[in-house]
Amino acid sequence: MLDLSLDSLASAYASGDLTPSVLVARLCDAIDAYEAVDPAVWIHRISKQDLLDRAAELEAGAAADRGPLFGIPFAVKDNVDVAGLPSTMGCPAPLYIAEETSFAVQNLLDAGAILVGKTNLDQFATGLVGVRSPYGAPRCVFNRDYVSGGSSSGSAVAVAAGLATFSFGTDTAGSGRVPAGFNNIVGIKPTRGLLSTSGVFPANKTLDCLSIFALSTADGDRIRRVAEGFDPEDPFSRAGAPVPLPLENPRIGIPMPDQLTFFGDDAAAELFNTAVEKAETLGWEIVTFDYEPFRATAELLYGSAWVAERLAAVKPYLDKDLHPVTRQIIEDAGGFDATDAFEAIYAAQRLHTRCAMIAKDFDLILVPTSPTIYRVDAVEDDPITLNSNLGTYTNFVNLLDMAAVSVPAGFRANGLPFGVTLVGPGQSDDALAVLADRLHRGLHPRSGMQDSPLAAPALSVRDSDGLVTVCVVGAHLTGMPLNSQLTERNATLLETTRTAPDYRFYALADSVPPKPGLSRDPNFDGPGIEVELWQMPMESFGSFVALIPQPLGIGTVTLADGRNVKGFICEPAGIATATEITHYGGWRAYRADAAA
């Protein structure tokens, strides 16, 4: 199988060992071969010649002008528009030929990505099973007797089977997460509005969002950053300030034991318990909480007038050949009136308030991506109930305006994969990705049909628009006298790490409270100095810097892993009268010794 990870392809292109033309030729062969195994993945494939033409176009450009996704193959769910291509929404014939490319897809193409095709889905993105399509039912890549998950079924299988580096799905009720869990890949459900839904056929327009399938959170997060952007043509597009999360010892909420259900799947329950134990070994604090308001929120999606929003989108197409289950769900929505809609809005807001109060006790939620997985024949026999079961831990997320990432969490004894999902506040996508990546690597650092080791490097924290990371070394550390200058500015502790080895460390003379000085010496090779990384809103950074006295200041500090962050440095004049304490390796060790 081809290694399609972002860094592997970029390295191969840079060295000349691979070209986009060679890649797409090999990829076409791989897609042809997999179609013999599962013919239901694709609804529309880009022809080999068109792919070669796109590759040649990219190769003709100057190397310096290559976009961040140069030559990266991807797929999109067939409810996402691409100019000149049919959009079917899983109907037997195209509903239309798209005149324009969706905003997010265009961002990917502009970055040099290569679209290989449009994938199968539960019709009108209604379902979590992946079997409600006239184009067939894409199957779990590990056992064809089992569902692949929906509604973004084909998009997940395309990535898991090694037919694309990443793909777009959509996620209203869990469609970007359940198929990820069933196919041993990552599913990223961003904050609603972060990725434009212009050119995306709606399911529930007020709740919809594009989702990303990838082999690693690191790859998926990079794709999100390229695809996102404020779109004035999308009334639900937004670009709010990122919400930081603590990357050091976060508090993780899990439902109380009697509120966890796996519908008899004891292997899934065991794997979830293992995930919780692993989170604890990462230093994460586990907090149980009352899941009932979240469950009640989830039930609103299909059990109230919210479902009528699907009718609003599909009503002009009720004369089409609809899948019987899809038709039943959508036509039943006609029984709600405007009064019901307002009552559903009120109920959702009441639950939102209750859930927000409960969430004050933790930073993130950890839940199973899905409580179990079903055979295709079982879903066909009981399509509504089993579909509903699969959304047990997903349906509440968009209604509560949260973000989520599903990651692989190992395999049952029968060879079927299991996934868990981290759920964070809206706009916490940047930090959430880092934590999800750590959990993935701690639980099961592999992915895809071949269960291959992760090729992408571990995802590390970085500054986001509206946030700045500050490296502190002394009196601003957690528990130290000046730490409040950070916390009162809504700064969040990200992690504890060390500087590069060429830093010396000093105890400053006559400093009240006692403070250290950090200075770089290119000719020095030491232990590195222990530091904390804090992230604060950019608008608070200026007032923080204004508090810093001479001889200290803010400069750029290089960390042991090569990252550069803003942090405390010391003028040479201050070091001249200071005592070197580099051998302590950090301020805490020095202060502990001084107090002894």
Residues with a known catalytic role: 77, 151, 175
The answer for 317, left when phi > 0, alpha when psi is -120 to 50, beta otherwise, is alpha
In angstroms, the CA 386 to CA 186 distance is 23
Helix (H) or strand (E) holding 418: strand 417-425
How distant is the alpha carbon of residue 289 from its chain centre? 23
Alpha helices (H) in 323-428, listed in sequence order: 324-332, 338-358, 376-381, 383-390, 396-399
In angstroms, the CA 6 to CA 28 distance is 19
Report the candidate in 205, 175, 198, 199 with the shortest Cα–Cα distance to residue 310. Answer: 205
417 residue type, one letter:
P
In angstroms, the CA 82 to CA 208 distance is 18
In angstroms, the CA 461 to CA 245 distance is 11
For residue 366, give the 3-state DSSP assignment: strand
Distances (CA, A) of 536 to 140, 443, 515, 539: 43, 30, 21, 8
576 — phi, psi (to 5°)?
-60, -30
In angstroms, the CA 152 to CA 528 distance is 47
In angstroms, the CA 503 to CA 582 distance is 8
What are the residues facing 452 on neighbouring strands?
A: 447
Pairing status of strand 42-45 against strand 114-119: antiparallel
Whose structure tokens read 């709010």?
A: 240
336 residue type, one letter:
F
Q: Dihedral sign for Cα 86, 91, 92, 95, please.
A: negative
In angstroms, the CA 172 to CA 419 distance is 18
**DSSP label of 359:** G
What are the residues facing 535 on neighbouring strands?
A: 469, 492
Q: First vs last Cα of the chain: how many Å apart?
A: 60
In angstroms, the CA 340 to CA 557 distance is 57
